[in-house]
């Protein structure tokens, strides 16, 4: 998705779109255009007789301005 200018971040469950946009702008010094939020619900998983819960989380899909990119992974 980085070829499309979109990056995925795991964020705090209480974070809002404006907060995420502001933090990305300050930390990475880029201009986010859109921020989409996906809430992943907790899921029950079993291992034999015991059952547990995989915790849910929130992820943000951030679209950057055309021509900008993040260098987060070494090549």
| Domain range summary for the chain, segments of one domain joined by + | 2-64
- So what's the pLDDT on residue 4? 84
Cα 71-9-70 angle, rounded to 5 deg: 15
Q: Which CATH class is domain 2-64?
A: alpha beta
| Residue 15 to residues 19, 36, 39, 71, 73, Cα–Cα distance (Å) | 6, 12, 11, 23, 24
Tokens 């951030």 belong to: 62
Q: Which residues of the chain have pLDDT under 50?
A: none
């Amino acid at each position: 998705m980085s070829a499309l200018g979109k990056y995925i971040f795991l964020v705090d469950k209480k974070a809002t779109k404006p907060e995420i946009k502001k933090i990305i702008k300050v930390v990475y010094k880029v201009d986010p255009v859109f921020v989409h939020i996906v809430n992943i619900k907790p899921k029950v998983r079993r291992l034999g007789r015991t059952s547990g819960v995989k915790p849910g989380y929130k992820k943000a899909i951030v679209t950057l301005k055309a021509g900008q990119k993040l260098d987060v992974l070494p090549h």
